[in-house]
């Protein structure tokens, strides 16, 4: 096995646990894979989830010298490693969930598909507010880019979030400037503000970026607001697109 065969970050985290467990229980060693996995995680935003004692464990020989005198029984070593690597596995599972969410939206690009993703995001709100906020922003971005593609609207891969929303809204005749009624102008202007706000709140709170010394932690209510705002706006955009293309009742 080599690191290139591991498709997701969660796969890599599981492989790291497996490699350490195999060494700790006197089985086959994978020195090259261990080195590659260790370098991958220590050169990524996942570094903060790595066990502190692993900082100086550059090789499996050093790891064996560390783990052998620590526990007499293999089962103790397995339990220890599983507990120590659990923060990393949980963090990578969150990334895996986000990738799955993107895939689900693309596979079922409809209001029904977004409703299903909405449910998945809400399920994560209380246990992982950071991750829920990241998923809310990811859902919005995925829907906007997919709509832009369907509407033949050009954009750059790193398009500013609010700019991308305005491009799609204009194509769907949802720009406030396209409406004379003050009520609709206010509502549609609010939609634009929500889109821009989701991008900014994710930069402050979401788990897709590394955090500095002073970490901002969102409350559950913040995560729920982000999730519900994202899902509601995505549904509105999708239903508008479906209506204009004769795909809705």
Judge residue 157's burial from the number of C-beta atoms within 10 Å of its C-beta, 0-12 exposed, 13-18 middle, 19 or more buried: exposed
Q: Which pLDDT score is estimated for 211?
A: 46
Contacts of 236 (CB under 8 A, 6+ apart): 191
* pLDDT over 80 (residue 104): no
Q: Which pLDDT score is estimated for 184?
A: 62
Q: Which pLDDT score is estimated for 131?
A: 74
> 3-state SS of the chain: helix, strand, coil percent to 5?
75, 0, 25
User: Among residues 127, 145, 114, 123, which one has the least CA distance to residue 207?
Assistant: 127
pLDDT digits (tens, 9 = 90+) for 185-242: 677 777 777 777 776 665 555 444 444 434 456 788 888 888 888 888 888 888 888 8
pTM score: 0.54
Bigger pLDDT: 23 vs 213: 23
Place of tokens 């809705």: 248
pLDDT digits (tens, 9 = 90+) for 46-86: 888 899 999 999 999 999 999 999 999 999 999 899 889 88
The rounded mean pLDDT for the chain is: 80
pLDDT digits (tens, 9 = 90+) for 229-241: 888 888 888 888 8
Tell me how far the alpha carbon of residue 34 is from its chain's centroid.
25
Contacts of 199 (CB under 8 A, 6+ apart): 137, 160, 161, 162
User: Among residues 82, 74, 65, 85, which one has the least CA distance to residue 26?
Assistant: 74
Q: Which pLDDT score is estimated for 177?
A: 65
Contacts of 139 (CB under 8 A, 6+ apart): 101, 105, 114, 117, 121, 230, 231, 234
User: Which 8-state DSSP code applies to residue 206?
Assistant: -
User: Among residues 242, 60, 9, which one has the least CA distance to residue 146?
Assistant: 242
For range 19-26, the mean pLDDT: 94
Q: Which pLDDT score is estimated for 220?
A: 84
Count of all residues that appear for the chain in the document: 249
Neighbours of 222 (CB within 10 A): 19
Q: Which pLDDT score is estimated for 207?
A: 45
Q: Which pLDDT score is estimated for 185?
A: 65
For range 170-184, the mean pLDDT: 71
Contacts of 114 (CB under 8 A, 6+ apart): 105, 139, 143, 231, 234, 235, 238
Q: Using CA atoms, how far apart are residues 56 and 113, in angstroms rounded to an integer? A: 46
Q: Which pLDDT score is estimated for 32?
A: 95
Query: Long-range pairs for 71-76 at CB < 8 Å and ≥24 separation?
Result: 74/24, 74/25, 74/26
* pLDDT over 50 (residue 119): yes
């Amino acid at each position: 096995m080599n690191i290139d065969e591991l498709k997701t970050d969660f796969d890599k985290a599981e492989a790291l646990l497996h490699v350490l467990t195999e060494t700790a229980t006197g089985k086959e060693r994978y020195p090259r894979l261990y080195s590659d996995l260790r370098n991958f995680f220590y050169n990524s935003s996942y570094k903060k989830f790595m066990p502190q004692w692993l900082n100086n464990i550059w090789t499996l020989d050093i790891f064996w010298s560390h783990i052998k005198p620590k526990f007499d029984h293999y089962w103790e070593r397995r339990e220890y490693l599983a507990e120590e690597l659990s923060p990393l596995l949980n963090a990578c599972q969150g990334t895996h969930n986000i990738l799955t969410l993107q895939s689900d939206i693309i596979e079922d690009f409809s209001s029904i598909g977004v409703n299903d993703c909405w449910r998945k995001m809400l399920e994560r709100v209380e246990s992982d507010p950071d991750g829920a906020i990241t998923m809310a922003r990811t859902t919005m971005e995925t829907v906007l880019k997919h709509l832009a593609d369907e509407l033949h609207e050009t954009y750059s891969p790193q398009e500013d979030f609010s700019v991308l929303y305005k491009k799609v809204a204009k194509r769907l005749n949802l720009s406030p400037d396209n409406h004379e009624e003050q009520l609709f102008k206010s509502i549609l202007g609010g939609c634009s503000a929500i889109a821009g706000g989701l991008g900014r709140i994710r930069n402050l709170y979401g788990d897709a970026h590394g955090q500095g010394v002073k970490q901002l932690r969102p409350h559950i209510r913040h995560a729920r607001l982000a999730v519900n705002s994202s899902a509601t706006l995505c549904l509105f955009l999708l239903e508008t697109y479906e209506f204009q293309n004769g795909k809705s009742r």
